[in-house]
Amino acid sequence: MKNLLSLDIPDTTNSCVIRIADTSIYGEMIPASCLQLDITPPGFTTAYSYTNLTPGFVVNLTACDILLQTANCDTIKNPIVDGVYVVRYSVSPNDKVYVEYNHLRTTAILKKFEKLLCCLDVEACAPQGLLKERLREVQELYTMLKAAKSAVEFCHQPSRGMAIYHYVDGKLDKLLCGCGCQTC
């Protein structure tokens, strides 16, 4: 059996970490060697390569780890921005045995959803009137965010996914402003 490479890149609300887990199935007869994880952040053309890996790894990478932050790494942890990250994982021979993903990071926008839901002050009863309307709008926007992730990660249409992301982000900002949870 040959190596079947796979990664899991879960959504997280930790803005300072991107978590990547190896979910590969490795063949017993083919040893996995020269493991390499390449991450290209949004707006960059050069990947950061991470090679200190063993099969079954789980890494929590910071902005310093992927070179988005180059100063004060011992004292300050900068947030990792939302956007499309190209993540490639390979084993020897690395040019032939690899898997590559477009990953839409949504941490900042998920935090906006949480802030908005707190601001809406939902109670343990059926919502009425304006609250019901706002909750319906929030659900629609959340579904659209899922559509953005699908466009990037499954349909291989990163531009379309980012357009949807930006639309949802703008609508959330307006809802937060109307709720009094954000300066407008």
Establish if 2 belongs to a structural domain.
no
Number of domains in the chain: 2
Q: Which of 77, 105, 133 delimits the end of a domain? A: 105
Retrieve residue 133's tokens.
Answer: 């309307």
d(CA 106, CA 113): 11
Cα 116 to chain centroid distance, Å, stands at 20
Transcribe 100-167 into DSSP letters.
EEEEEE-HHHHHHHHHHHHHHT--SS---HHHHHHHHHHHHHHHHHHHHHHHHHTS--HHHHHHHHHH
- Considering the domain architecture, whether residues 33 and 43 belong to the same structural domain is answered as yes
- Considering the domain architecture, whether residues 16 and 60 belong to the same structural domain is answered as yes
d(CA 160, CA 165): 9
- Considering the domain architecture, whether residues 49 and 79 belong to the same structural domain is answered as yes
CATH of the domain at 84: 2.60.40
- Considering the domain architecture, whether residues 97 and 123 belong to the same structural domain is answered as no
- Considering the domain architecture, whether residues 100 and 114 belong to the same structural domain is answered as no
Q: Look at residue 10 in the predicted model and tell me its pLDDT.
A: 96
d(CA 49, CA 87): 10
Establish if 149 belongs to a structural domain.
yes
Establish if 61 belongs to a structural domain.
yes
pTM, two decimal places = 0.90
d(CA 156, CA 84): 11
Owning domain of residue 19: 7-105
Q: Specify the pairing of strand 7-8 against strand 18-22.
A: antiparallel
- Considering the domain architecture, whether residues 19 and 86 belong to the same structural domain is answered as yes
- Considering the domain architecture, whether residues 99 and 26 belong to the same structural domain is answered as yes
- Considering the domain architecture, whether residues 121 and 165 belong to the same structural domain is answered as yes
Q: Which of 90, 105, 120 delimits the end of a domain? A: 105
Burial of 89 (0-12, 13-18, 19+ CB in 10 A): buried
Stretches in the chain below the pLDDT threshold 50:
none
Establish if 1 belongs to a structural domain.
no
Q: Which of 70, 105, 140 delimits the end of a domain? A: 105
What's the sign of the alpha-carbon dihedral 158, 53, 76, 111?
A: positive
d(CA 108, CA 175): 16
